[in-house]
Amino acid sequence: MSYPEIEAALREHLHCSRVEKVRPVGGGCINDNYKYITDKGPFFVKVNEDKDALHMFQAEAKGLQALAKAQAFRVPEVYHLGELANGGFLIMEYIQFKDGPVAEKDYKALGKQLARLHSFKDPEVDRFGFACDNTIGSTPQINTWKESWIDFFTARLEYQLSLARDRFSDLYNQARPVVENLPRFFEGINPIKPSLLHGDLWLGNCSMDQQGGWVLYDPATYWGHSEAELSIMTLFSGLPNEFWEEYFQHIPREPGFDQRHELYSLYHALNHLNIFGSGYASMCSRILKKLRQ
């Protein structure tokens, strides 16, 4: 499917004379993705016809630009953000990904590069949050700046729980003691400094390009605790030891890591519960049981 607004933007902003083909690209459950093949080469275009699509894509563009600034990973370059009669679209660099299995050395590189991202410092950032709210999946992610990481993450959990409260009151009640005693999970560790996070980093949101370099995309970017990045990476699939060994060489594990890993997993499990429904209730319940021990 092609949109006249997208073709007009390609002509006006990217100097394309013609669109030769439009091919749907799979992999997304929130947006419709397309490869626009033009006389100036291919472009990757995200389309969403929701009323909040323009804000969502604006936030995604800001997240990609922040990640690019860190120079730890390749990220798609953002070319143009546009409005549809209903919704919006985002034109980006088209990156051809590498096929085939990922080698152990590549997972090691992923660990090293992720540690580099988390070690990146912006002299203008000394708090937790982001320049704008964004989305994680289809859920709003509130990024209001806070001085305290515990306060910030408490607000994170409270928002997800507020969405779940009416449909999943039992889980909500199970979670209250955890949220109300959040500081205990952070006892005995070094002061937490803001790290730049992708925010939704699992193996579906990163791939290798044709040159063998890692590419990050579909971010839910914010400045947070580096450990929070690692939770969704194990929630649905594992990563080999090479990744973890390399990452922890650069950012060592702190006391209580395993419990905090469950805590940060709870955020993503609740988000999936709120988006996809009761199929994720047992996952949330298992995590909460571990956290209440």
CA distance 173 to 200: 26
pLDDT in tens, 216-226: 999 999 999 99
CA distance 207 to 94: 13
Q: Is the pLDDT of residue 27 over 80?
A: no
> Among the options 126, 200, 209, 258, which is catalytic?
200
pLDDT in tens, 117-163: 999 999 999 999 999 999 999 999 999 999 999 999 999 999 999 99
CA distance 209 to 102: 12
Average pLDDT score over residue span 22-32: 87
pLDDT in tens, 201-218: 999 999 999 999 999 999
CA distance 106 to 251: 18
Average pLDDT, the chain: 96
10, 91 Cβ separation under 8 angstroms: yes
Half-sphere exposure of 201 (CA within 13 A, CB side): 29
CA distance 206 to 214: 7
Q: If pLDDT is split at 50, 70 and 90, which confidence band does 2 have?
A: confident
pLDDT given at position 30: 86
Contacts of 2 by beta carbon, 8 Å cutoff, 6+ apart: 19, 22, 36
CA distance 162 to 275: 13
200 catalytic, yes or no?
Answer: yes
Contacts of 204 by beta carbon, 8 Å cutoff, 6+ apart: 27, 218
| Higher local confidence (pLDDT), 27 or 115 | 115
Residue from 32, 53, 63 nearest 219 by CA: 63
Share of the chain above pLDDT 90, in %: 94
Q: Is the pLDDT of residue 178 over 80?
A: yes
Q: If pLDDT is split at 50, 70 and 90, which confidence band does 293 have?
A: confident
List of domains in the chain: 4-93 (3.30.200.20), 104-292 (3.90.1200.10)
Q: Is the pLDDT of residue 184 over 90?
A: yes
CA distance 120 to 112: 13
The pair of three-digit structure tokens given for residue 12, joined into one six-digit string: 């006006």
First CA to last CA distance, the chain: 52
Q: If pLDDT is split at 50, 70 and 90, which confidence band does 238 have?
A: confident
Q: How far is CA 123 from CA 135, 194, 195, in A?
A: 25, 11, 12
246, 115 Cβ separation under 8 angstroms: yes
pLDDT given at position 73: 99
Contacts of 221 by beta carbon, 8 Å cutoff, 6+ apart: 62, 63, 64, 66, 67, 130, 134, 196, 197, 198, 199
The pair of three-digit structure tokens given for residue 258, joined into one six-digit string: 């395993």
DSSP H stretches of helix in 205-256: 232-235, 241-250
pLDDT given at position 210: 96
Contacts of 239 by beta carbon, 8 Å cutoff, 6+ apart: 107, 110, 203, 233
Q: What is the pTM of this model?
A: 0.96
CA distance 243 to 230: 11
